Amino acid sequence: MTATVTLAAGREKSLLRRHPWVFASAIERHGGKLHKGDTVDVLASDGRWLGRGAWSPDSAMRVRIWSFEQDEVIDNAFFLRRIEQAARGREKLWQHTNACRLVAAECDGLPGVTIDCYGKTLVCQLLSAGADKHRDKILWALRKLYPEHAILERSDAQVREKEGLPPLTQVLHGDVPELLEISEHGLNFLVDVRKGHKTGYYLDQRNNRQLVAAYAAGREVLNCFSYSGAMAVYCLAAGARQVTNLDLSAPALELGARNIELNGLDSKACQHLNADVFAQLRAYRAEGRQFDLIILDPPKFVENKQHLTQACRGYKDINLLALQLLRPEGILATFSCSGLLPEDLFHKVVADAALDAKRPLQFLRKLSQAEDHPVLSSYPEGYYLKGLICRAP
């Protein structure tokens, strides 16, 4: 018999709207013997069945909902159905790339489960107690759907600590090379799936790389937080005169240099600078250095709501510095991947930076995450990547 979790009176509204999270503060009591990751039925205070999810006793997010269908069993077939359904929604992407996000956690009905495909290798992140509990079922489903693919688990994100789970990296099936080569819009990239950021590559920026590169022809480009240099490859391929990759990670810069060579581009047209971005932008300002196109794609600044004000100061600071380095008619492409930072607030921060820089700023395009990172209508938290292409006359 499935254990039950009963909500306090009036706390069922979000589940009735099919939001997949239940916080500890919403729970009045639970019955039955519960272990981390166990499947539980969530009930309203009057006994109505609301959903079926995974129990996470160490997290403030105490239950993540697997299903809102009372007759749906959380078994092998369940994970097979969900992964297969998610994969069908990505079928058109294979016309442009051999790498995409196959499963986007809550937005594909699998909380805590992220699965990225790089050619013939799948990279999984199992970041919740429920996902960790059902590792064998997820692996079974993946091997059934993708029998020729190697499978690597990269469950090394800090969020696992909140679930009371240790970081974990392991090969689940097959042989996983140190570096994989993928293609995207006719360009090629080396991906470090074992040690690189996230699962090795920022798939969510796929469309934005094309959109930003459309402004690069003939320009001198500063690519901040460049990681493995994908933006630089796109810009050089689009005719950029010169690109500087700026990042704190020397291995990422080395990979960026290899990606330039991999695409037959002029390596002399790209400088790779190992430095702190904030400090280097200030150094450029002191030197009077200027650029025609500046790309800001920083890591997440907001870990929780308490950090929001501090994060806004960081975003404003970096955009202010960038605007002070832009030549007249320069282009700023600026991003935030902080899900807790609302889009309108991000736009205000950029506008405030322009005001302090005494530069008029035109917003040319709003940018977002690629379509293999969908946003579920009942889960707005799935919308996290925000970007702007701006012109500073």
- Indicate which residues carry an active-site annotation: 337
Residue 229, SS3 per DSSP: coil
Q: How far is CA 132 from CA 5, 37, 118, 153, 165, in A?
A: 20, 7, 22, 11, 8
Query: Residue 266 — φ and ψ, nearest 5°?
Result: -75, 110
Question: Side by side, which strands form the sheet with 220-224?
Answer: 270-274, 242-247, 220-224, 291-296, 326-336, 386-392, 362-368
Question: How far apart are alpha carbons 129 and 56 in whole angstroms?
Answer: 6
| Sign (positive or negative) of CA dihedral 236, 240, 246, 250 | positive
Q: How far is CA 42 from CA 11, 28, 35, 170, 219, in A?
A: 11, 11, 15, 33, 57
Measured at the CA of 14, the angle between CA 9 and CA 17, to 5 degrees, comes to 125
Helix or strand run (H / E) with residue 251: helix 250-262
Beta-carbon-side half-sphere exposure of residue 291 (alpha carbons within 13 Å)? 28
What residue has token string 């929604």? 89
Closest CA to 335 of 182, 211, 192, 154: 211
For residue 295 the two structure tokens come to 């790309």
